[in-house]
Amino acid sequence: MSAPQPLCLVINGPSAAGKSTLTTTIQDRAEVPLLRFGLDELFRMVPDHWSGGLPEARHSDLGFRYEDVEGRDGVRRIRTGPDGRLMLAAMNAAIAAMLRAGQGVIVDGQAFEPEANHDLEAQLGELDRQGSAVVAIVELKTDDSELEDRQRRHQHPAGLSLFHNSRPPQSANPHLVIDTTGLDATQVADVLWGWLVVTYPTIQKGSPT
């Protein structure tokens, strides 16, 4: 028998919503290999002088730059320049290429950049229509008070969470929305896993031989 269609699981939500923890848990539970891709992976590849992490980055206006949100103390956003938009487009192309090669992927968060997100969803939609991949887009929601508490305890509290929570979701039409308010990481994983094993049964069975 031929191998099953690769899965592309996109997990969206504001910073500190639990996307990375959930991604790791699903990777651990799955009986098919799912490569992790997303903003954190992309930002680790970005040269320091094009990223927001270096205070005096000389090309952050072209790449990715942290900016304070006026009137909101401690809240920041990421401003994406032309080189940054090109990097996001390259990440989208890489995700699509992995799926075309038969490799499953978990996208650990899309950018809060509508143009980049529409581009990725258009590519994923075409792969889905062709029968080349199974695409599942999941959105995590959390209320502001809990998100603020999580951000304080986040390993890298960049001040992005509350700004993200005020923006429209990255995907206009997610396949599943999980409100994580009041849930721990295991409970959130159980909700998603229960949905996944129905949507993509191969995730718990492995590839047929």
- For residue 93, the domain's CATH number is 3.40.50.300
Lowest mean pLDDT among 54-63, 81-90, 110-119, 143-152: 143-152
pLDDT bin (cut points 50, 70, 90) of residue 88 is: very high
Tokens, residue 147 = 């998100």
Which residues on adjacent β-strands are paired with residue 32? Answer: none
**Residue 30 domain-assigned (yes or no):** yes
**Residue 154 domain-assigned (yes or no):** yes
- What DSSP character marks residue 173? S
pLDDT value of residue 32: 93
In tens, the pLDDT along 158-206 reads 577 777 777 778 888 899 999 998 899 999 999 999 999 999 999 987 6
**Residue 209 domain-assigned (yes or no):** no
Domain that holds residue 75: 7-203
In tens, the pLDDT along 40-67 reads 899 899 999 998 777 889 999 999 988 8
**Residue 1 domain-assigned (yes or no):** no
**Residue 158 domain-assigned (yes or no):** yes
Q: Pick the residue with more confidence: 16 or 99?
A: 99
**Residue 38 domain-assigned (yes or no):** yes
Average pLDDT, stretch 130-147? 89
Residue 120 near residue 92 (C-beta atoms within 8 A): yes
**Residue 89 domain-assigned (yes or no):** yes
Using CA of residue 190, residue 20, residue 9, residue 163, what is the dihedral sign? Answer: positive
Q: Which class for 22: exposed (0-12), middle (13-18), buried (19 or more C-beta within 10 A)?
A: buried
pTM exceeding the 0.85 threshold for the entire prediction: yes
Residue 176 near residue 139 (C-beta atoms within 8 A): yes
Q: How many structural domains are present in the chain?
A: 1
pLDDT value of residue 155: 54
**Residue 13 domain-assigned (yes or no):** yes
Amino acid in the structure at residue 156: H
pLDDT value of residue 3: 58
